[in-house]
Structure 1
Amino acid sequence: MDVIPKELRKLYQKGHDDFKKGYFKTARSKYQQVLDRIHSTIKNTRILDELQCDVSLDISATYRQQHCYSEALDYCSQSEELARMLKDDLRLANCLDSRGKVKGMKGLFKDAADDYLKSIKLKLLAIGDNNIYIADTYHGLADIYYWQDKYNEAQENYEKSLKIRLDKFGDGHLKTADSYCSIGDMYITKDKIDNALLMYEKALKIRLSQQGSKSLAVANVYDSIGDIKQQQNKLEDAMSLFEKSLNIKLEIVGQHQFEVTESYVRIGGIYLSQGKDRESQNIIEKARDIRLELFGNHNLYVADAFHELAKVYTYQNNFEEAKFLHEKSLNIWLDLLERNSIEIAKVYHNLGTIYYTEEEYEKANSMLTKAIEIKLELLGHESLNVAESYQALGRLYTSLSKFDKALEMYNMVLTLRLKFLGATNLLTAQIYCDIGDIHSKQSRFIDAILMYERYLCIQLELKGEDLQVAKVYHILGKIYLDLDQLDDSISMLKKSLVIQQEVDTKHAFSLIDLYLNLGMAYYRKEGYNDALSMCQEALSFRLKETNDQNLDIGNNYHILGLIHNELGNYDQAINMLSKYLNIKLQYLGEDDAIDDLIRLYNTIAYVYYNQDKHDDAMSMYYEAKNLIVNKFGEESLEICPIYEGLGNVYFKQEQYEEALLMYEPCLEIYFEKYGKRHPEILYVCDCMRECYSKLDRDQEALEMISLLKINESDLEVLAKEEAKEEDEEEEEEEKDQEEVQ
């Protein structure tokens, strides 16, 4: 360099300084000025030819960093031509490195790897295996492997490069920082989040000390650390880092550059995680448009933008548009990538979740299975990425009622998340919730409660109350309702209601069911006024949603009818129950419609009975009787409540003979089905005893009293046995819960 003018050397160094900070356009301008001065020199020397070779390669690098691949390859070819003329194997190898980098960025991975491998052979012969130049080649080859998800090969070459750089430069050099960043990326693929963060922080410290805060390299580290914060669900921290990175990029490269679109996509992801889908869509569309302008339709970066935008449409339940964009990105990746990749697996996974939401379970299973197969091939069994697809497949199995298979998937996910993320993590909490859903569906309520409580403990500590927490409170409320733990049920349901009422009602996922369940809990606790209030709220919401007289509205009328009956509001009860009856008669094709109709006739008859509207009560009982005879026969157990009801109506009208005609066949059926010792027999015998007494048929009344005494004695023994069995069951449940804990 002694024969190169000092002014020229100084200009060349300024170009390097700009390049390191990411000012590629101004760096290229300075490099071009150096070339122009070389060309204006009358006398060519080897030194100047070598400089021209190096500067041409540097100009190629500026175009490459701006994704202007044709121009990058043109200048690379100029440099390669000079290197061959000079017969300089080291410079020729550097040209191969540069060309390999461009091909890799274009997705031509096989050609790229070939160029790097040729470069390594040349460098080994020219300078040996412990040199800063060959370290660059190892690093570049590792990038190619990494982009293809060949992580073992990538790690081997990154470590070779780092070892040389540490030996030649020490721990504070920019090249060493590059190695730290790449090894951090490798740790991310292995879900070693803490190790990755340590690498990124080392790189950031070096780059800040060497380049200052206004550097693309610094911005890139902010992005990497932000990705980790997002994965940890620390969304505000992630957004702060992404915005810091974006501001640096805008200052250095301007708005319409690829680097800026990377920040837009990341920020869009944060918006989506925060539920700000419109903001997410706008900023990702901006990224897509810039990439289309820069690269055209058929490009890996454009495919990535389509993929990210599809996630937004999925969130918005616009599944057709989401599937269209996923398939569009999938076709590009399948065409440009030479083998299976994580990007392809992600598309299969996302398509699988969409098909699952649309209840196209066969297609969902196919997509998710493809995703898992690719992920297992590339990442192995112990990966959070694989766990994500296991969880989706578990939810599919749950919907298909294949609970054992679902639990198998969920337990694998739980093991991986506990290993890599620890117990206090939102993703770990999420899988507890899924396992709780399985236990709940299997009526394993104690296990379900334990899983939901673990979910709540983590969620409330890390994120606080949100709609998902409200959903879990609601589920727990229903479980406690099934367990007849009414105070606990009401407590959980009220907590859910408070959260949902703070959210716009269009986003509340189940306010109607919540009001109904609260109403049922109050009803069973005999808090009929509160029950009435809750169920009227539910009906109000339903009628706002639709005017259709469907079964859901009918069920609401049914519950309101029962509540009004308990409050003695018999006219309102009949009004509600009659509305339910009219709706129910439209759905006689349903399998359980006849059984429901029988119960409904029986209920309406009982309300008429309370009003002393005996003819109306009799009419309803006979409607029920006819349905039972047609479905079950005249001597079925199902007909006994109807005989009892009819007998009670006749008794209330002092038609005791007619009442006995109803009670007697009922008693015969009970005797035939149960023998002479059963709780149901007590009630009928007592009713018949009263009838005989009213008719002065004392002998028959005494016979009924004898039957009553026999049954009461046996029932006391039976009650003691049942109490003992209940105590034993409770002890077993307590032992099971202790084992689970």
Structure 2
Amino acid sequence: MGQIMANTRITDPDHVDFIGKVKSLAEKNLKNKKISTREKLIWRSAIGQSYSNEASVLMSSDVMRSIELLDKSEKIFIEIKDYHQLAMTLVGKGVCYAKILNFTDAVKCYFRALKYFEKEKDAGAAAYATMQIANAYNKQGNDEKAILYYKKAMKHFESLKNPNVEDILTNIELNHNIGHVYLLMGDYVNAEKYLKKALGLAESIGDTQFASLILDKMGRIYFKQKKYKEALLMFEEALKQDQSDLFKSNVYTSLGEFYISQKKYKEAENYLQKALAIGLQYNSLNIEMHARKFLYQLYKEAKQFDKSLEMYETYAVLKDSAKIQESRDALKEQQLKYEFENKELLTKVAQQKKMAALKLENEQKNARKNIILYIVVSIAVLLLIIILFLNYYFKQKNLAEARKNEELKQRLLLTQMNPHFIFNSVDNIQSLIHQKQDKEAISYLTKFSKLTRQILENSRENYILLSEEISMLENYMTIQKLLYNNNFRYEILIDEEIDPESLLVPPMLTQPFIENAIKHGLKNKQEDGLVRIHYRIQNEKLSFEVTDNGAGLTQEEEKQHKSLSTQITRERLESIASGKNISIETTNIMDTDNIIQGVKTYFEIPYVFNH
């Protein structure tokens, strides 16, 4: 049974019923107390693989559910010590994480899988896991690391003595990916080298579709090098391959672009019209858009201005549609990622509360039993009872203190991630998209995503590097500038004596006061606002200061200049400083003529050294 499941790849949603039946059969057999230990392992493995196969079915439609199912598979394979299936499950989780742009966790899963594959000396699987690591770096635009891990994957392939067809297909993809990255980097020599190797492997197993794709890219290399004779030869050879219409459309477009460069407009139009027909037939926005782009260029150069205008207008509409779709996809992926991280955080908080409650309940039960026992014993043990009671008292005090610290963290997190801030940020980013400011929208979306991740991750830590805190403030201030229509600028100053990489500080202490400076200090400033953030160290004491150039505070405002988040911060500071009275000063900034120039808030930040 285990072998059957191991060799079956179920990816068709119609097979969900089959998966359920396998799982039900396995659960039924596991209830039989007479089965052997070996049979138990087989049926447990079958359940684990049924979870993996169901995750495979749902991966394209419900990534979150796929991750949950793969988590169940992972637990089973760890329990039965089936490390090969565990590694395959980890690769699947990595693919899911990559789909929601969580490349950090994706790479962690791939590396864990790689460790098991290398331990088993499964070179083919190790190469595949390493290639997935490279793909993750490639998607993040880290070309150097992508190339590094692609080449490491290649070393695994070189150690294969008898590669099967699946291994060769992966090797073709690997060489193609390396060549593609070099092509994007403009390194045509290396791009040609690896694409030729991929072509040889594709031809050796008769994979004509992959051969067409590779030949087309080699033609583009020669075209960029102005080796037109070699380029045309590659494009024509690509067209000869047995392939689907969608693959042919790429070659038709390449030939169209090639003949435009040679001023052979009739041949160019012929190929581009074929590509356009395929795009329309298969409802492919991308193929249609590229075909119309080059037809517009062709008709313009051929001075057929009516046709040129018609093509350009249609191309412009398609391009706008593509950008809108890309923006929607990006927002959807970010939303999925946020929902996953938020769900993970809420689950962790719930587990912590449950464990704390169970621990407290058990301690209280034990305490009651001890009290009953102590009443029965003689007065001689009275001293021992007192000692135990005091011990219990201090334990409860420590638990209460710990719960208070956790509660403060969660309350602060909620103030950081309030819905008003999130929805305003998303609305402003959407506004940029509607205004066709795509670069700005993508930049702000990236910073908003990073800020969200930083807040969620840092909320779990007691201390983080000062450099990480400053990075988070940079992202926060950028988003705030967007929300306030760039009517202010900001500066972050750090004394030269401070090494941000060597100091650890409590996370998110300063943000509430910076928010007050923007929200209250600059509320009447329509332009030329300034928020200055300054970290100083004097007599081994680290201090934080934030100033604004607003209208200042009246006496009544100074009394009421408090918010929930600043109150929480004060409580956190007092908790970290072991109850010591913490001074947070907020005063008006006065010039020599006693005129208010803004507001200054400053306080001391506890820190430790990063060893």
Shared fold, TM over 0.5:
no
**Higher relative strand content:** 2
Give the number of the structure whose alpha-carbon radius of gyration is greater: 1
**Higher relative helix content:** 1
Tell me which of the two structures has the higher relative contact order, counting C-alpha pairs closer than 8 angstroms and 6 or more residues apart.
2
Give the TM-score normalised by the residue count of structure 1. 0.37
